[in-house]
Structure 1
């Protein structure tokens, strides 16, 4: 059977990983000059507390080539689905590792996405693997799904974007005063962009996510929708209730974002992720 491998940015729950026998390669998160393995040694709650104490933004990095090699050489046939190559060096490091191995039959798929946007692809691949589909068959299906992933998040605070150099000091000050919450989307080329800026209450930010979902409801694959968040479960449950009113979805899965995603977006970030038909 083809082994399905993903990195920790896929933000799938331990239950889903176990159910589908998915192997995870953790990214690295550097906090206060201490390196941690995402999902293994550091939770978002611990990360946010460390940032609050130190005032320093964490840094993230891709797994080493050696880490990839150690995993890849265990499986004669595998597919590795990674975070967007526009957002991380994971794809590059994995490619170097695969090229160094002559006794494995592996494929690396650039998800051009993040979080459970990757997770949607990983689960589809794992389902096909459990049906004993071939490496080529799974690769074809997943590759065709890559541009069909839709991922957008509302960010509650500009602090992390500012500390990470992703917005200017003036934008940070003005945005904080006006309570501006950007809605970030993953573009089809794998980069991130601001779809809209919502000012005012947090509820308006959540409404922006729901408005986008409602606008696209006729083209949404209703089999699975993810709601992924950084320590704001009440909002996730609210979105789940509202999505149920918009579209009959077979499964709405709420997941916690890992420390890698949390490092860049901060607390109380929440997103809706789905596949188009």
Structure 2
């Protein structure tokens, strides 16, 4: 049997793991001086209560590797194989740590998603279609698909891009004065600002058209995503061509691994598109 593992950077909640047939390794993060295991010590609502209520900037850290080994060996000790899909190595050291941890275990394959949150969900859904195949064949399928996964979003404020080192103080100041909304992407090249628009309306228009511009593949669903408040996402969907609505999964309230980069009230789409765009 092949068991799929993800880390909590997938934004797959503990309450979903049975439905999706996965095991979830919690990432850890710091809020102030306190360390939490994602969706274990605090659920997503508890995280935002502290994040916003106390105005603390979260810092993510590696998962508990001893716990990871124990979880995985519950399966490999029975002769099962484990397919571990991790948050992108471009924003976390989780992949490299797990790759090293399991390098001598012939029953474990660790896959760098080069994505996060809904992008990992798309890889899980794809892997489930192929569970009857050899594990290395599944890895090859995922390695090809992950190059086409697009994460495009609009943060409500530039503050978290400044704190995370994605903007200089000069860019932050000019952008704040002009009410510039950056368009953020996460793909195989990492997190980057792919465009900038003046005002929310123009920024929403860019994301609404991104599905067409980036070659949306109708064989895969769209994961509408947001941090904390769903209102902006609902507005985005309302200005998106209705022909795409039938492909949309349930809205995903993103976990701390992404919220610390984008801040609360960010919103956007995650989907499979053309590898050569973005």
Identify whether the pair has TM-score above 0.5, normalized to the shorter chain.
Answer: yes
Aligned residue for 2:250?
A: 253
Q: How many residues are matched?
A: 270
Aligned residue for 1:162?
A: 162
Superposition CA RMSD, Å: 2.3
| Cα drift, residue 251 of structure 1 | 4.2
User: What aligned pairs does 1:36-75 form with structure 2 within 5 A after superposition?
Assistant: 36-52=36-52, 54-75=54-75
Structure 1 residue 210 and structure 2 residue 208: aligned? yes
Query: Alpha carbons of 1:178 and 1:35: their partners in 2 closer, same or farther (altered >3 Å)?
Result: same
| Cα drift, residue 11 of structure 1 | 1.5
| Cα drift, residue 52 of structure 1 | 4.4
Structure 1 residue 86 and structure 2 residue 84: aligned? no
Aligned residue for 1:128?
A: 130
CA distance in 1, matches of 2:221, 2:260: 26
Query: Alpha carbons of 1:46 and 1:168: their partners in 2 closer, same or farther (altered >3 Å)?
Result: farther
Q: Is the 8 A contact 2:48 2:228 kept in 1?
A: no
| Cα drift, residue 222 of structure 1 | 4.2
Aligned residue for 2:3?
A: 3
3-state SS of 2:122 partner = helix
Q: Is the 8 A contact 2:5 2:85 kept in 1?
A: yes
Aligned residue for 1:233?
A: 230
CA distance in 2, matches of 1:164, 1:250: 32
CA distance in 2, matches of 1:187, 1:251: 20
Structure with the bigger RCO (C-alpha within 8 Å, sep 6+) is: 1
| Cα drift, residue 31 of structure 1 | 0.5
Query: Alpha carbons of 1:14 and 1:234: their partners in 2 closer, same or farther (altered >3 Å)?
Result: farther
3-state SS of 2:224 partner = strand
Aligned residue for 1:223?
A: 220
5+ residue gaps, structure 1 = none
| Cα drift, residue 263 of structure 1 | 1.6
3-state SS of 1:184 partner = strand
3-state SS of 1:36 partner = strand
Structure 1 residue 271 and structure 2 residue 275: aligned? no
3-state SS of 1:224 partner = coil
Structure 1 residue 95 and structure 2 residue 93: aligned? no
Query: Alpha carbons of 1:240 and 1:96: their partners in 2 closer, same or farther (altered >3 Å)?
Result: same
| Cα drift, residue 232 of structure 1 | 2.4
Query: Alpha carbons of 1:85 and 1:233: their partners in 2 closer, same or farther (altered >3 Å)?
Result: same
| Cα drift, residue 17 of structure 1 | 2.8
